Amino acid sequence: MIILGLDPSLSCTGWGVIRAHGSRLAHVANGQIKTSPKAAMAERLALLHAGIAAVIAEHAPARAACEEVFVNENPQSTLKLSQARGAVLAACGAAQLVVNEHAARLVKKAVVGTGAADKKQVAAMVGVLMPGTRIAGADAADALAVAIADAHLSPIA
């Protein structure tokens, strides 16, 4: 089964595609979609939607996984994250993909062993679980972690 992991953000959305066969996992692809803070909001959201739609078209995942939304101390940051997440999830919906959602702490616990892991720990463990993988950046590592956690936490359908 091919699983698309997503780490939505308005500035840089990470994505990671893995193949799960039983308990064996293999890296397929990963990347990041960056938007310019100078661009209009609608343009940035359209770029995220189109980018994820292209990833789905290229890799044909059976399902997707995304971190649940969390509330930042800054309401504007939460709103921007929610808008980016909406664009990314809309791309999945347009492709008729089921999207599993997991809490960030649960993803970190499933991949690293502790829900309090930082980005460096997550990236390092993704590297251990998928040796030889060239990871496009921290957001791509987080997206791969979401896909890995989903493979372990969600039943294969």
- Contact of 59 with 77, CB cutoff 8 Å: no
The length of the chain is 157
- Contact of 32 with 136, CB cutoff 8 Å: yes
Which residues are part of the catalytic machinery? Answer: 7, 67, 139
| Encoded amino acid at 111, one letter | V
- Contact of 3 with 65, CB cutoff 8 Å: yes
- Contact of 126 with 7, CB cutoff 8 Å: no
